[in-house]
Amino acid sequence: MKRALGSVTGALVVAVVAASCSESSVTLGGPLELTLTASSPVRVQDSVVVEFDVVGRQLIGLILDFADGSVDSIALSGAQSAAGRVAHQYGSAGNFLVTGRVQDAIEGDTMDDVSVTVVP
């Protein structure tokens, strides 16, 4: 009796899923977009905080180039969106252009950058 009940329940679930799929479409993520912002200006002894916000369809990873020889990478493991913060400390004063590049398995890749000023 439990076996028959399980078969009926499984058939009902399949029918509901099939009906809902035929009546609507499913959109994964969205067009690839990366936005970078940063706390600036900062002093040499303080860390600049770079915030990222990314949307895609199957995100692979994000690479941040801090323009001082330092690079950081973040694995996104197929996510459709991600946001976060990365702290970085510069060794000298100056103006730096932080560049981010995100890669998506479906959408390709895109870049964004943000200017950072570091004061003595």
For β-strands 81-89 and 59-65, DSSP reports them as unpaired
CA angle in degrees (0–180, nearest 5) for 116-119-84: 35
Q: Which residue would you say has higher pLDDT here, 13 or 109? A: 109
Positive/negative CA dihedral, 13, 18, 23, 25: positive
| Site of tokens 């946001």 | 83
Domain extents in the chain = 33-119
pTM: predicted TM-score of the whole model, two decimal places? 0.75
Q: What is the mean pLDDT of residues 90-106?
A: 97
Ramachandran sector of residue 23 (left: φ over 0; alpha: ψ -120 to 50; beta: rest): alpha
CATH of domain 33-119: 2.60.40.10
Q: Could you read off the pLDDT of 47-93 as tens digits, one per residue? A: 999 999 999 999 999 999 999 999 999 999 999 999 999 999 999 99
